[in-house]
Copies of this chain bind each other. A is one copy, B any other.
Amino acid sequence: MERAVRYSKKREAILSVLRETNCHPSAEWVYQQLKPRHPDLSLGTVYRNLAFFQAHGLAQSVGVVSGQERFDAIVTPHSHFICNCCGTVLDLPEIFPDSGLKQSVSAQYELAVQRCELTFYGLCSSCSQENQNFKEEPLS
């Protein structure tokens, strides 16, 4: 028995925000974006809808960065870069894991692989530069 799905203005607005940004936001970020136009929006509703989107394949989690789960409305395969310093998450649209790996893992380890995530960690260009500055001008 499928549970019926109904239209909701808030849900639509939440999905729009998620689709119109490329910052891979947290629930809180989405909430703050919508607050001005939807003063009665509740953070709980944002969480509930993000879960809904994941369950329906409209969004996916990029993982937890600095304690907050981050979401992505792009569900086609692509990789991510996460800055260890500021937490920025970037898409790497041209980088894919070797397509044979998924099958290779399934075969070698007797696992039902559904998804594969390739994630790079390091410093984004902005944090990289600041780190350079620190080296040149250490705190007093």
A63 contacts partner chain B, Cβ-Cβ < 8 Å: yes
Question: Smallest CB–CB gap between A119 and chain B, Å?
Answer: 5
Copies of this protein, total: 2
A90 contacts partner chain B, Cβ-Cβ < 8 Å: yes
Is the CB–CB distance between A105 and B92 below 8 Å? Answer: yes
Q: Give Cα distance in the complex from A106 to B29, angstroms.
A: 28
A97 contacts partner chain B, Cβ-Cβ < 8 Å: yes
Contacts A92-B109, A94-B108, A95-B104; is A122 near B114 (CB within 8 Å)? yes
Is the CB–CB distance between A112 and B128 below 8 Å? Answer: yes
A12 contacts partner chain B, Cβ-Cβ < 8 Å: no
Is the CB–CB distance between A101 and B95 below 8 Å? Answer: yes
Is the CB–CB distance between A116 and B105 below 8 Å? Answer: no
Chain B residues within an 8 Å CB radius of A119: 116-119
A residues with CB within 8 A of B: 63-64, 79, 81, 84, 90, 92, 94-95, 97-98, 101-102, 104-106, 108-125, 128
